[in-house]
Amino acid sequence: MNGTMNSRRILLIIGGGIAAYKACELVRLLRKQGADVTCVLTEGGAHFVTAMTLAALSENPVHTTLWDLKNEVEMGHIQLSRQADLVVVCPATADLMARMAGGIANDLATTLLLATDKPVLAVPAMNVRMWHHPATVRNIATLRGDGVSVMEPDDGAMACGEFGPGRLPEPIAIVEEIARMLGLCASTSSARSGSGESTDHDPARPEPVEGAEPVEGAEPVEGCLAGKHVLITAGPTHEPIDPVRYIANRSSGKQGFAIAAAAARAGARVTLIAGPVNLDTPQGVTRIDVETARQMSAAVEAALPADVAIMVAAVADWRSAGEAAQKIKKDGSGQVPPLQLVENPDILASLCQSDRRPALVVGFAAETNDVLDHARAKLLRKGADWIVANDVATHAMGGEINGLHIVTAAGVESLPELPKAAAAAALIERIADAIA
């Protein structure tokens, strides 16, 4: 298996709560990233998921008891707790966290947690009142004071019928947090660790994890794009048909915004030309909002010159030939009004031909089939230096993960499937190398 977490060892402790079923999905996603996952199932956890399921998904034996003498001979609990790179408790129930905070070691999971010398991530899931109970608040403050990272639970409807914070975060968000703790990406964290923090439950900035070595390609060197102007387009365009209707596509803008954030972190001056999306502007980025392809084209032109252009936007290929000034009404005859389309300007192709062409022009290609063939054809047709292709049949637009293929005249580099922030960081690092 090939991924960014290649051969990183994760010891996953599954507590006894309804959210335990989501631990199965977490194991699957971690394996997909190439991590080596060993599961420890508590007695409570075994009421919700079976050791068999976890063994099949992790492709490793599952440990359930401290009194397994065979394992004490072959691999004692001390070794099990120390051979991991990271210990993850998911779901971390109120009871499990209370025992962790109290230093109690009365089963395999808590014994491992007391014996480990590795970073620990707890992912809580419990009823909203249990989450707000002073005992839980106290225990979480103690754990954080002891250096345990505790993720913030999600808000929402719960299996018990109540509503509020306490839901297990989505498995993909947990994978991102694990990647961050392993030093594999620098996405914003919802976990906190360290001492001297207040006991409320507000998320805060991540702390760097001691001993986590960054992996090549995961995060560009700070300042590697210093002094460069990077121009990025992102999101869809909306092409009006009449004052209430428009032609659009499913682009969320997340990948383009993540690239803008990564470029800004690398020290670039970043101009982000964004179609209609519901995303916050990344720190340090100048954002220009547009609606249509023609507005995007004009905004790109106005933002030149640039050293690098990364055209991530899913620009609508066509627009309505004539936008109706008033809402088009049904006339009662059952006749469908004709919708005449005309082609939009190709922003990328025009930029490549422009006499103000940036030194490096990178296009994107969202494809459903023959991904690399289409990307190679696009590279030639548009005149770009690189086309970054992604398979939108595998990863639906709007999702959190991307598997990018960087297609250049020299060949193809396929990145592993990554959370979008990590994919953005890897791409920016390659761009910085290319223009250095």
Residues that bind ligand CTP (CB under 6 A): 233, 293, 311, 313, 315, 317, 344, 346-348, 363-366, 378
Strands 411-414 and 163-167: unpaired
Distance, in Å, from the CA atom of 120 to the CA atom of 84, rounded to the nearest integer, reads 10
Q: Is 39 a catalytic residue?
A: no
Residue 429 beta carbon to ligand CTP: minimum distance, rounded to whole angstroms: 20
Cβ proximity to ligand CTP: between 261 and 315 the closer is 315
Question: Are 120 and 89 contacting, i.e. CB atoms less than 8 angstroms apart?
Answer: yes
**Count of positions (residues) in the chain:** 436
Cβ proximity to ligand CTP: between 148 and 379 the closer is 379
Distance, in Å, from the CA atom of 39 to the CA atom of 62, rounded to the nearest integer, reads 5
- Please state, in angstroms and as integers, the Cα–Cα distance from residue 100 to each residue in 20, 72, 192, 392, following that order: 18, 22, 16, 43
Residue 72 beta carbon to ligand CTP: minimum distance, rounded to whole angstroms: 58
3-state secondary structure of 326: coil
Residue 140 beta carbon to ligand CTP: minimum distance, rounded to whole angstroms: 45
Return the residue matching tokens 């929402």.
156
Distance, in Å, from the CA atom of 421 to the CA atom of 155, rounded to the nearest integer, reads 23
Task: Record the tokens describing residue 251, joined without a space.
Answer: 């682009």
Strands 245-247 and 191-192: unpaired
165, 170, 172, 173: CA torsion to nearest 10: 0
Sheet holding 36-41, edge to edge: 36-41, 9-14, 86-92, 120-124, 149-151, 191-192
Q: Which of 160, 185, 224, 352 is catalytic?
A: 160
- Please state, in angstroms and as integers, the Cα–Cα distance from residue 357 to each residue in 54, 148, 283, 349, 428, following that order: 53, 50, 26, 10, 19
Distance, in Å, from the CA atom of 218 to the CA atom of 6, rounded to the nearest integer, reads 12
Question: Residue 72: exposed, middle, or buried by beta-carbon count in 10 A (0-12, 13-18, 19+)?
Answer: middle
Residue 189 beta carbon to ligand CTP: minimum distance, rounded to whole angstroms: 31
Residue 413 beta carbon to ligand CTP: minimum distance, rounded to whole angstroms: 17
Cβ proximity to ligand CTP: between 4 and 292 the closer is 292
Cβ proximity to ligand CTP: between 94 and 315 the closer is 315
Cβ proximity to ligand CTP: between 88 and 365 the closer is 365
Residue 351 beta carbon to ligand CTP: minimum distance, rounded to whole angstroms: 7
Distance, in Å, from the CA atom of 264 to the CA atom of 126, rounded to the nearest integer, reads 38
Residue 343 beta carbon to ligand CTP: minimum distance, rounded to whole angstroms: 8
Cβ proximity to ligand CTP: between 108 and 306 the closer is 306
Cβ proximity to ligand CTP: between 173 and 290 the closer is 290
Question: Are 87 and 81 contacting, i.e. CB atoms less than 8 angstroms apart?
Answer: yes
Residues designated catalytic: 160
